[in-house]
Amino acid sequence: MSVFWNSKRKVYWSTFTRPLLFLVLCLFCASSCQEAPEEIMTDQDQEIEQKIDSLLALMTLEEKIGQMSQVRHFADIEEGDVASKFIGSVIHTDGPTPGEGAAGWQAKFTELQEEALSTRLGIPLLLGVDAVHGQNTFAGATIFPHNIGMGATGNAQLVEEAAAITAKEVQATGLNWTFSPCIAIPYNDRWGRVYEAFSESTELTEQMARASVRGHQGELSDQHTVMATAKHYIGDGATDYGKEGGPTTLDRKEVFERLLPPYRAAVEEGVGAIMASFNTLHDILMHSHKEMITDTLKGVMGFDGIVLTDWKGYSRFGENDVINAGVDMVMAVDGDLPKFQEGLTKAVASGYVKMDRIDDAVRRILRQKFRMGLFENPFPDSTLIASIGAAAHRDKARQAVRESLVLLKHENNALPIAKDSRKIVVVGEHANNSGLQSGGWTVTWQGKAENYPGATTILEGIQSQATGEVVYDADGTGEHHDADVAVIFVGETPYAEFFGDIQHDHSRDEYLYTLNETHQQYINAYAGKGPKVVVVLISGRPLVVTEQIDQSDAFVAAWLPGSEGDGVAEVLFGDHNFSGKLPHSWPKAVEDVQGRFGPNYWDDSIEPLYELGHGLKW
């Protein structure tokens, strides 16, 4: 099934007053976001609430604050701390791996789970990970295209299937919670997390958010599903000038009409958690934004799951004001655990944080643990290990690669490339490097600049399909002008967050937002010198490549395809036609991306080179 945006629409409005805003929000959410009255709760829901009541009545303040604490397994705790500090959640991030292979990972998380179950009340752990395009922290897992590529597919069913596969491989490594999907609406492509979001289109993002939550969570108590997290609430992709954690100054009407709908969709699908964002919204830190978290998300929208901080959110964004705003669980990492637990204990004693707020937070955490069936089945299923990187999973990822590719330009019958071409020259390091083709959040937080286990490079895919000669010119020497076709790979190196690897011209104080000189030379070495030129851009966002598009016979936006690089080759050789459509407007010139927002779906003051939804077939 394929979903895509409607024809391009423009809406303009003035800032609304707060009372009118609340009325608009109520009307906006009323049809589907109200909390269900207790009398129509299911028997299972009622049973869970009764269990929570019984458990809360037994808990001390120390045990409650422990449940609100999330730590890293290797950095924030020592042996015995899970039990003695009543830890509610453990996460895996960059750093030492939990063990040798998936069995070692399961063994480590089982050990931590057993420690949690040894406490007086035996409350199991939530075990979280940033699995944002597959179980990307585990070398050998199936890695899907990043969300920008999944958005380009327009295929919600495929997004759901990819999320279900991700969930299964996450469970296979011993974890039960993922911090995904990112459902931001990027306004400026300089933002370093553009590739984590599906699209600048609210409508498309809404569809993909629903699909991702359904795929990850399925029947939440099943042991091959995980709890999903919608992030980052709210306005993270719409900061001025694309600054990570900067100010979001969109007027209130824009926030509720453009940024909120994907969160409403996620709530309607029963998403288990929502993560607060680093940015400010109307000069208020989002982590401390009670109006948006308690009043809007939990109140009007009826969200009954866990609101989670981002990294060190307690100490960075207001300490106990974060709790009073409605945050339920704290990433108490990098030394924050004592600060959080002691600080919140004192705040409750002084009356600054009310016990009702603590009970609400713990109720939400326990509710998800009961829904996930962790009290009955707290341990990972060892039989799932065989599913990691399974052929069927990789087939689905290869399909995602094929459908994500967007053909921006096509002339001179450059595509499809004949498999029996006498000679094909493949140019550039991105062609033969699975780390570069996968981007950030792959094996490590910032990604890898080298190959990793289990992945297939694009060059390997080309070599496996071509019946004629394939020559690899990694450095773009231009020594193969006798080739029938030059397939030239250019793009970005892996990054996560901030401004990525965009070059900054300090003399003009401008972000150049272009290919580096080396990659420009790769194209210069072959353009107009004999072979037909097919350029493939590997990037986490649109770049200013107008000149390079003009030099090419065909130009392909391949985004960050992940572990199955042979999916790119299958389309280049014509086994499948192009079907991807741009999930973002494409900038024409560097000048167009210097302002508060780049060219996008919402702003017609700048004419893009290609509009949202552009995509050719050969």
Structure tokens, 540:
């986490």
Spatial strand order of the sheet with 554-559 comes to 406-410, 554-559, 532-538, 485-491, 423-427, 469-473
By DSSP bridging, strand 247-248 and strand 510-511 are unpaired
Of 310, 328, 403, 553, which one is the catalytic site residue? 310
Note the maximum CA span of the chain: 80
Of 49, 81, 295, 497, which one is the catalytic site residue? 497
CA distance 177 to 395: 24
Phi-psi domain of 574 (left: phi exceeds 0; alpha: psi -120 through 50; beta: other) = left
Spatial strand order of the sheet with 229-233 comes to 229-233, 273-276, 306-308
Structure tokens, 117:
């179950």
Structure tokens, 173:
């490594």
Structure tokens, 589:
């010139």
DSSP code string of 155-177: -HHHHHHHHHHHHHHHHHTT--E
CA distance 427 to 62: 60
Of 325, 256, 306, 313, the residue nearest 279 (C-alpha):
313
497 is catalytic: yes
130 is catalytic: no
Residue 113, phi then psi, degrees to nearest 5: -65, -40
Q: H helices then E strands: how many in the chain?
A: 21, 19
Cis peptide bond prior to 232, omega within 30° of 0: yes
By DSSP bridging, strand 330-331 and strand 69-72 are parallel
Residue 437, phi then psi, degrees to nearest 5: -80, -10
Cis peptide bond prior to 181, omega within 30° of 0: yes
How many CA atoms lie within 13 Å of 586's alpha carbon, on the beta-carbon side?
27
Report the catalytic residues: 310, 497
